[in-house]
Amino acid sequence: MHNEFTTKRSPIVLIWKFAAVEAIGFVLYFAATLLGNTKYELYTQLSLPNFLSYQAAKILLLSSAQFALTVYAFLSWYYEEYIVRAGTIVHESGILRRTKTSLSLDQTTQFIPQSSWFGKLFRYGSVRAENAAGSMTLATIPRPDRALQALRGESTLSEHAFGAEPDITHLLAQPEHDRLEFKSSLRFDYKTGNVSKELEKSVMKTIAAFLNSKGGSLVVGVNDARQPLGLANDYQTLQRSDSDGFENHFTQSFNNMIGPEFRDLVKLRFHAVNGCELCVIQTLPSPRPAYLKVENNEHFYMRTGNISTPLKLSEIESYSRTRWPVILS
């Protein structure tokens, strides 16, 4: 993965906050003058030391209020930051109660830099990220050009994130486990000789489970004994009967059942074994939960051994907080 990139909001924001504190202080002072004798009556009702005169009490009260607002303004600026890591933007803010929001980045993410002439003069601006998963603005940050570079680097996972070309012979020599599974086809049912949506759903279920766990490889085109069957029957069910048509159909199904925002975490590689073409679908672990969408229902899966296990609603939150503590805490 790429290195983590963290940025706070520009110090110009802190200056604006301090200016707002001064303005609030002026408003408070002006409001106090409208109270007339009421202020003195309140003072006489308070049990204050004899040495603390009315004027001293008034100055102390206004100064304390202004100091408290100044401290709050500084801390709210200091503890707010944007973190870009593992294909995700995380916005953290708050003093006593921290809040975190996030946006996963993918190849469809658009980045829109925004800056005024004043911002260009003092080298600050904003960057808005938008994709199918939502949007987030890195508002009023210093050197937005650096943030934009980091964001674009995270939105497209480099080739080395998937590792070297998988050794298909080594994969076929292993039994199924938590990071490896085999399927006879993507959509061709060998029992009925027809196209089966249930087979596509089964493939996507496995990939969703890999996304929500440690990642893994799904080999398509082998039987239960891990002997090559090939993809020829799958190809015959497609408009374009080759590996490109296979990948195009896979992407369409993936986008519909899991979501295009996760597509850059999955890579298809094709291999020839004993005259049969096989497909290895490599999946990286997702930076946020991935759901399988079927008939307007969403299902959550994780890998337990060599099985893709569904979780109940009561179990999803507990697992998610353990699997993605930074995003969901």
The predicted pLDDT at position 121 comes to 87
- 72 SS3 class: helix
Q: Are residues 29 and 141 in the same domain?
A: yes
Paired strand residues for 8: 81
Of the candidate ranges 40-44, 136-140, 166-170, the one whose mean pLDDT is the lowest: 40-44
Q: Are residues 149 and 171 in the same domain?
A: no
**In this structure, what CATH number is given to the domain that contains residue 259?**
3.30.950.30
Considering the entire predicted model, what is its pTM? 0.56
Q: Are residues 193 and 150 in the same domain?
A: no
The predicted pLDDT at position 107 comes to 63
183 Cβ contact list (under 8 Å, min separation 6): 199, 202, 203, 206, 218, 219, 220, 221, 222
CB 200 within 8 A of CB 253: yes
Q: What is the mean pLDDT of the chain?
A: 86
Q: Are residues 152 and 284 in the same domain?
A: no
d(CA 166, CA 184): 19
Residue 67 burial (CB count, 10 A): 12
Q: Are residues 315 and 277 in the same domain?
A: yes
Q: Are residues 34 and 164 in the same domain?
A: no
- Reply yes or no on whether the pLDDT at 328 is more than 80: no
d(CA 131, CA 151): 13
- Reply yes or no on whether the pLDDT at 47 is more than 70: no
d(CA 298, CA 131): 20
DSSP 90-102: EEEE-SSS-EEEE
Q: What is the mean pLDDT of residues 81-98?
A: 87
d(CA 119, CA 242): 52
Q: Are residues 277 and 140 in the same domain?
A: no
C-alpha distances in Å from residue 61, one per residue of 71, 73, 74: 16, 18, 20
Structure tokens at 93: 């803010």
143 lies in which domain range? 1-156
